[in-house]
Chain A
Amino acid sequence: MKRLFAGLLAGLLVISLSACGGNQTTAPAPASGTQPSTAPAPAEKITIRWLNSDDPKVYGWEKIYPLFKQKHPNIDVEIIHVPNFRAMHDKGKAMMAANDAPDIIRIDDDFVAGYAVRDLLLPLDDLFTKHKFDTKGYHQDFRGWARVNGKQYALPIGMHARALFVNEDMFKAAGVPLPPTKWADPSWKWNDMLNSAKKLSKPDQGIYGVSILNDNGFEETWSRSNGGMGTYAKDGRSLALADDVSIEAYQWLADLIHVHKVHPPYSSYTQMPIVDQFVAGRVAMFMGTNGNINNLRKKIGNKFTWSIRPLPMQKTVMVEGSINTHAIPKNAKNPDAAFLFLKFLTSEESQKIIASTNWAFPVHPEWAEKYYVQPNQAPKNQEVFVEGWKKYFMPVAKTVNDEQVTNLYRRPMQAAWAGEKKVAEILKPIKAEADKLLKEFPDAKLN
C-alpha cells in the first residue's frame, strides 16, 4: 500500500512538472493574431525586449533611455545584445520558434523581405495610424525600402554610409598625398588608391596600405563603381554579382592581397578586427561605416590624426548604405509598447542624440545637417560622410532569401580571398542556384 501511494505521488509530480514545462516540444507555434493588441492602461507595467546586435554604448543609449522613460514610465526596455549580426538573427528565429519572440528585432535592409514574405513580422501600417506616426520628412528611401507587398514592415532608426577611414600620420610619414575630400573627384580612382597603398605598405612588417574586404559592403560598392548592378538585380530576383563587370571588380580586390600585397590577409579579421588593426597602425586606410566612428574615437584618442575620405570610384559614384532597421515579430507579446518605443527612437530628440554620436545618420535628412557633424571631435572631414550619404546613397535590393544566397557565394569566395581560385571560377557556377533561391515566393512584391 505504501509503495502504491509512493508510485501515485511520483506520477502526480511528473504530470504537474510537465504541465509547467512550457515550450518543451517542437510542435509548431500557432500563428498569432493579426491585430495588434489594444494599448496598455497607463498603470500597467510592461517590459519589452529588444534584440539587437549594436552595443548600446555606441549610440547614446544612456541618454536616450531616460528620456523615453519620462514619456512612458510604465514601459521598461530590456536589451538582448548579441554582438554578431548573423548570430543575433539565429537567436531571434529560435526565440520566435519557441513562441518567446522578442518585442523588437533588428532586421536591416538585408532581411526584411525574407522575414515579411514568411509572415514572421507584424505590418506596422495600422500602428502608424493608431499612434499617429507622422512619416513626413523621412528619408526618401524610408517607406519604399521597408515595404513588401504594399505593407510597411520595419522602421529605420538610423542609416549608415561608407567611406574611407585614413590615418593621416602614416600618409605624411610615407610622403604620400592624402586622398581628396570630395566624392567623384577624377583624381581618385581605383588605381590611384592602389598606387598610394603601394607606397604605404610594408607587408614583411605586417603593415598594409588599404583594407576593403573587412566590410561586406564592398560587394555592392565595388560592383556598382565598376558599372555593375551590385549584388542583385533591381527586382531582387537574380544574382548580379556573377556578371562580368562585378567579377572584374572583385578580382581587382583579390589582387590587392595576392598580387600587389597592399591588403591584409582576409583571415586577419578573425584574429584582429579591422578597427584594432587601424588603431595599431597596421592599416593606413580602410573602408568602414560611420558606425565605426564612436568606437575609433575612444580607441585612438590622441594617438594619431585620422580623417574621412571618399571611396575611389571607377565608372560611377555610389555609396552603399546600411539601413539600421527594427521590426516587431508577429508573435511579439507587446506590439503597442514596442511600437511606442520605436516611434520614440525616430523622434527628433532621440535622433539628435544618435546623430551626435556620429553612429548613424538621422532618418530625417534635415536633422543630419543640424546635428551630425561634430566639428570639435575627431575624425576630420566628417562632412565627407554627409555628402556621400546625401548624394550617392543607395540601399541594396530586397530579396526573399538573402541569408541563404549570401552563404552560397560568400563562403566559396573565401577561396578567392585566400588566393586559391579566381573569382570567375567561383561565381559563374553559383548563379543558377542563387537565381532559383531568389525566385521563391514569386508573387511577393519586393522592390
Chain B
Amino acid sequence: MNSSPATAGAAKTQARAAMSALAWSRTRDGWLMVIVVVLGTILFDLSPIVMSFITSFTDWNAVTLPKFNGLDNYRALVQDKTFLLTVKNTIYYTAAHVPLAMAAGLGLALLVNRKIRGINIFRAAFFIPVIASTVAVGIIWKWVLGGYGGLLNSTLAMVGIKGPDWLASTTWAMPAVILVSVWQSMGYNMIIYLAGLQNVPQELYEAASIDGAGKRQQFWKITLPMLSPVTFFLSIMSFISSFQAFGLIFMMTSGGPANSTNVYIYYVYESAFSFFKAGYASAMAWILFVVIAGITLIQWKLSKRWVHYQ
C-alpha cells in the first residue's frame, strides 16, 4: 500500500518529536543527577575563586569592609623586595625539587619492580612518607637536621665531620628543605612510575635483547620513552605542587634564616593572616595561578615533541 507524501511527512515529524521528548527527558534527568555536584562546585569552588579575584583589587584586612583600590596591589607587588625574593626562592625550590623527586621516584620504581617475596613491604615503606602528616615530618626532620645536637650532625661527628647548622645557615637551609620534600614525595612518584613500568610491553625488551641491546640501552631506548606519558603527568603535578610549597617550610624554618627559605605561598599566608593584607595576598594568589596555568600550557604544547603514547 503506498502512503502519500503528506502522511510520510507527518509521520517523520511525529517521530522527530518523540525523539526530542526522549532526548529532553534524558537530558533533564541527567542534569538532575549532577545538580548536587554542580551546585556544590559553584558554591564552594567557583564562588571563593571569584571572590578572591574581586578581593585582589581591594585593600582588605579580612575582617572589616574592603576598600576598592584598583590595581594598587599588583603595582605594589612589582616593587616589593620580599615578594621578588620569594619568587626567586620558589624558582630555586622548584628547579631542584622537581627533577630530584622524579629521578628518585623512578629509581625506587625500578628497584621495586620485581616479583620477589616481601617486595610489597618495601613499596609500602617508601610510600609511608607520602601519607605521613607534613607537620610530623617537619618536626622530626627539624630535630634530625638541628645543628645543636641534631641526629645528622651527631652521626657525622662520629666520623670526624663537622656538619653545618643546616636550618640556621642561609646556604644550607633551602637544600635541606628540598631534600626533606624530595624524601616525602618520592614515594608517590614511585607508585606512578611503577604502574607505568608494569605497562611497558615485555615484547619490546625481548625484541631488543634479540637485537643485542644491553640493559642500559634498553633503559634509554625503551623504558624511558615508554614512560614518557607518566613523566609528563608527574612533571606537571610536581611543578604545580612545588610552586605551592608551604607546609614543610612553615614547620621547619618559618621562611628563615634571613628569608632564604621564604617562598611564594608562605608570603601569601603571612600577608593574609599576619599583616592584615588579604587583598594583597589575593593578588599574589592570582599571579601564581596565571603563572602555573602558563607553565602547564607550555608543557602541554611541548609534550607533543617528546611524549609517546602507545
Contact = CB atoms under 8 A, between A and B. Distances in A.
Interface of A: 3-4, 6-8, 10-11, 13-15, 18, 21, 24-31, 86, 89-90, 93-94, 96-97, 114, 118-120, 206, 264-268, 270-272, 330-331, 401, 403-404, 407-408, 411-415, 418, 420-421, 426, 433
Tell which of B52, B149, B276 has the most Cβ of chain A within 10 Å.
B276
A93 B66 CA distance: 15
B249 to A, nearest CB: 13
A273 B60 CA distance: 37
A30 B63 contact: no
B32 A94 contact: no
B216 interface: no
A271 B143 contact: yes
B150 A7 contact: no
B43 A18 contact: yes
Contacts of A28: 60, 62-66
Interface residues of B, number: 49
Nearest to B250: A87
B10 interface: no
Interface in B234-262: 255-259, 262
Which of A86, A93, A118, A267 counts the most chain B CB atoms within 10 A?
A: A267
Contacts, number: 145
A415 B257 CA distance: 7
Nearest to B37: A14
A143 B28 CA distance: 68
A408 B169 CA distance: 18
B278 A414 contact: no
Given A414-B258, A418-B169, A420-B170, A404 B32 contact: no
A201 to B, nearest CB: 15
A403 B274 contact: yes
Contacts of B81: 433
Secondary structure at the A interface, as helix, strand, loop or mixed, is helix
A256 B259 CA distance: 23
Contacts of B257: 267, 411, 414-415, 418
Contacts of B274: 86, 89-90, 93, 403-404, 407
B168 A10 contact: no
Contacts of A267: 146-148, 165, 167-168, 257
B294 interface: no
A4 B29 contact: yes
B40 A14 contact: yes
Contacts of A426: 258
Nearest to B164: A418
A272 B55 CA distance: 42
Nearest to B270: A407
Given A93-B273, A114-B276, A266-B168, A8 B32 contact: yes
B146 A270 contact: yes
Contact of A411 (B48, B148, B255): B255
B36 A11 contact: yes
A418 B165 contact: yes
A93 B281 CA distance: 15
Interface in B47-88: 47-48, 51-52, 55, 60-66, 81-82
B119 interface: no
A432 to B, nearest CB: 11
B165 A7 contact: no
12 contacts: A6-B32, A10-B35, A11-B35, A11-B39, A25-B48, A93-B63, A97-B63, A267-B165, A271-B142, A403-B275, A411-B256, A415-B257
A8 B274 CA distance: 44
Given A4-B29, A26-B52, A29-B63, 19 more contacts: A3-B32, A3-B33, A4-B32, A7-B29, A14-B36, A18-B39, A26-B48, A93-B63, A94-B62, A96-B63, A118-B276, A270-B146, A271-B143, A271-B146, A414-B170, A415-B257, A418-B170, A420-B169, A426-B258
